[in-house]
Structure 1
C-alpha cells in the first residue's frame, strides 16, 4: 500500500510532523510512505529512513500557479496512493489530496477544502502540534519525538567548522535571532547585549545560526560569535544544534529542529504568541521565556510586521539580563568566578 503525507507549511511545521511519520510507519509497517513538501521541507526530511520518496512541490517557484499544480497532481496519480494524510490546512493541499486519486483522504475538520476528505479529524487547539497530528492515527502521546537525520556529509561539514574555529571542549551556545515575522523577533539590540555578556564567559563559544535572510539582522557584536547565518544547510544546522549545549531562539523553526536532539537546552523567547498554541519545544530540556499577564497577548497565531499597539511590550520587557541568567544557569557557570578579563 502506498501512503502519501502532504505538508507544505513552514520548516518548523515539517519538523513537528516527523513523529507522525514514525506513527504512520508503526501503524502500517508494510506500506511505502511518500511525503509531498516544499524544497526546504525536503531538505529537512532527507535521510529519514521511513520515507521511501520525498516529492517536491515548489509552490512558490517552478510549480507556482495552476500549471504547476496540475502537473504535480498528474504526477501524484501515477503512484496509485491508497491513503493520503493532508496535514496542511490550506485549500491547495486539500485539492492536491483530492486530485491524487487516493481512495482515502484524511485531514483536519477545520481545513479549507475539508469537504473533499473522506475522513475528518477534529482539530484540537488544546494539544501540542505533535499530539494533534498523532490523532490522525491514534498515536500514543509521549511515545514519538521529532526525528531529523544529519548525514555523514553534514557531520564532516560541521567537523570542519569546529576545527577552523578551534572548538574542542567549549560549551556551545547557538543563537538564532531570526523569524519570518518582525514581532516574533526579540529586539536585535537585546541579542547584541546577550552576545556581549556570553562572550565574557570562559570556555564558551557562541554560534549565530539562521538562513540568508537572517544576515539582514545587523548585530554590532556579531564578530564576538561564529556567524554561520546563511552559510549552512538545514541538515548542517541540525548537526550544529545536536552538538550545542544551549539554543536561544525566537518562536521559530530552530526550536523544533533542536527538539530532535537530547543535548541542547532550548530557551525559546515568545512574544506575540503563547505556549497554548502548541508549538513549544518538544524536548524535555527547555523553557519558554515570556511576559505573562499582558492583555494583548496573543495578538495572532503567527506575528505581525509591527506591534499592533505600538509598544511591543511582549518582547521589550524580556530583558537580556534575564535570558543571560537562564543560559548561564544551564551551562552550570557561576558568574562570580568564570568571567573573562572585563577589558576583553
Structure 2
C-alpha cells in the first residue's frame, strides 16, 4: 500500500500531522508513506523514521501555474493507493483530485465532498488529553481501519546534532550545572504575541524563582522586538539572559532546545516543538486561540494559560475565534498576575 499525506503551510501543523505516519506504520509496517509539505517546514520532520519520502510544495509551485501542474503530474506518477489530505484547501483539493488514488480522505466540507471517498466530520469535544488537533488527525485514519485516539508528535535529533549544540552552548558560556530556559518571546504574529511588558515580567519571575540562565527564541528580523523585551526586563534578569545565543537555523534551534529544562512563553510552533522533544512547556495562549484544540497533553509538565480561564465573562456567548479582532485589547486584560503563582509552581 502506497499512501500520500498532504499537510502544507505551518510548521506546527506539519509536526502535528506527522503522528499519522507512526500510527499507519504500526498497523501496516510495509506501507510506503510519502509526505507532501512546504519546503520551509522540513526541519521538524527531518530524520523521522516513519516517513519514506518527502514531496515539496515549493514557493514556485505556489506562485507559478506551470510549476504547480508539474507537481500534480509528479504526484500522479507515483500511483498512490491512498491520499490523506489533512490540509484540505484549494491546492491540496486539486492535487488529490488528479492524484489517481482510489481512496481519498479529508475533512468534511460540503463543497469538496465529490472529491473524496471519505469525508470525516470533526468532533466538537475532546475525549482525551491529546486535544482536538491530535484527535481530528487520527480520525482521518478510520477508513484504513486504524482507531487510535492519541499519538504524541516526536522530533528526531541526531546524536551529532546533540553533541554539536552542547559544544556550542558551552562555548557561549552556558553552565550545564545550572537550569536553562528557552523563552518564546514573540509569537508568529502580533495577535499571537503576549504584550512585551508582560512577557518581561514573566522572564523576571523565572529568574527570581530559579536563578537560571535564559535564552530568547527569535529570528534575525525580530531583533528589534526581542531587544525591546530585553530592555523591559529588570537589570538582574538581564544578567541572566544570553541574548546573542540562538540557533542560526530551525534545526539549530531544536538542538539547543533539547538541552533546556523548559520552554516558556507564547503558544505556537516553538511550544509544539518543545513538546515533541519531551521538554517541559508553559504556554501563554493568545486570547483568540482555542486551548481545546491546541492545548495538547496538558499535565504538570505542560501547562496552558488562557484569558478565558481567568475572565470567562469576556467570552460569554462567544468562541475564541470570534475574539480575533479584539486580541490586542484582550491581551492587555491578560495580566501576568493571573498566572504567576501557577508559573512558580511549574518552575518548582
Partner residue, 1:101 = 100
Partner residue, 1:6 = 6
Measured after TM superposition, the shift of residue 262 of structure 1 is 3.0
Partner residue, 1:26 = 26
Which of the residues 166, 176, 190 maps onto 2:184?
176
- Is the alpha carbon distance of 1:76 and 1:65 closer, same or farther for their aligned partners in structure 2, counting shifts above 3 Å? same
- Is the alpha carbon distance of 1:131 and 1:111 closer, same or farther for their aligned partners in structure 2, counting shifts above 3 Å? farther
Partner residue, 2:77 = 78
3-state secondary structure, aligned to 1:69 = helix
- Is the alpha carbon distance of 1:149 and 1:32 closer, same or farther for their aligned partners in structure 2, counting shifts above 3 Å? same
Measured after TM superposition, the shift of residue 140 of structure 1 is 4.7
Partners of 2:256 and 2:246 lie apart in 1 by 14
Is 1:295 paired with 2:304?
Answer: no
Partner residue, 2:129 = none
Partners of 1:116 and 1:152 lie apart in 2 by 44
Which runs of 5 or more structure 2 residues have no equivalent in the other structure?
Answer: 127-131, 232-237
Larger deviation, residues 124-133 vs 230-239: 230-239
Measured after TM superposition, the shift of residue 180 of structure 1 is 2.8
Partners of 1:39 and 1:264 lie apart in 2 by 28
Matches within 5 A, 1:215-294: 215-218=223-226, 219-221=228-230, 224=239, 225-227=241-243, 231-276=247-292, 278-282=293-297, 284=299, 285-292=301-308, 293=312, 294=314
Deviation per CA, 1:224-248: give whole Å up to 9, x if none: 5233687333233333333322222
- Is the alpha carbon distance of 1:123 and 1:191 closer, same or farther for their aligned partners in structure 2, counting shifts above 3 Å? same
Conservation of the 8 A alpha-carbon contact between 1:261 and 1:283: no
Which runs of 5 or more structure 1 residues have no equivalent in the other structure?
Answer: 333-344
Considering fraction of residues, name the structure with more helix. Answer: 2
Partners of 2:110 and 2:21 lie apart in 1 by 20
TM-score w.r.t. length of structure 1: 0.84
Matches within 5 A, 1:63-212: 63-110=62-109, 113-127=112-126, 128-138=132-142, 139-141=146-148, 143-163=150-170, 164-201=172-209, 203-212=211-220
Partners of 1:301 and 1:178 lie apart in 2 by 22
Larger deviation, residues 2-11 vs 138-147: 138-147
Larger deviation, residues 158-167 vs 28-37: 158-167
3-state secondary structure, aligned to 1:84 = strand
Partner residue, 2:234 = none
Conservation of the 8 A alpha-carbon contact between 2:264 and 2:283: yes
Measured after TM superposition, the shift of residue 301 of structure 1 is 7.6
3-state secondary structure, aligned to 1:133 = helix
What is the RMSD computed on CA atoms of the aligned residues? 2.6
Measured after TM superposition, the shift of residue 303 of structure 1 is 4.3
Partners of 1:213 and 1:283 lie apart in 2 by 32
Conservation of the 8 A alpha-carbon contact between 1:260 and 1:283: no
TM-score w.r.t. length of structure 2: 0.83
